[in-house]
Amino acid sequence: MLFIVIGLFVLSLVHELGHAFLAVRLGYGVKRIDIFPIHGLCYYDEPYSAYEDAIIAWGGVVGQLILFIPAVSFLGLFGNTAFGCVNVLLVTFTYVNACSIALNLAPARGLDGAKSWRIVPIVVKARWSMYQLRRKKFLR
Residue type, 4: I
pLDDT at 27: 95
pLDDT at 85: 87
Name the β-bridge partners of 40.
35
- Pseudo-torsion of CA 23, 29, 32, 35, nearest 10°? 0
pLDDT at 48: 93
Segments in the chain below pLDDT 50 = none
Domain ranges of the chain: 2-135
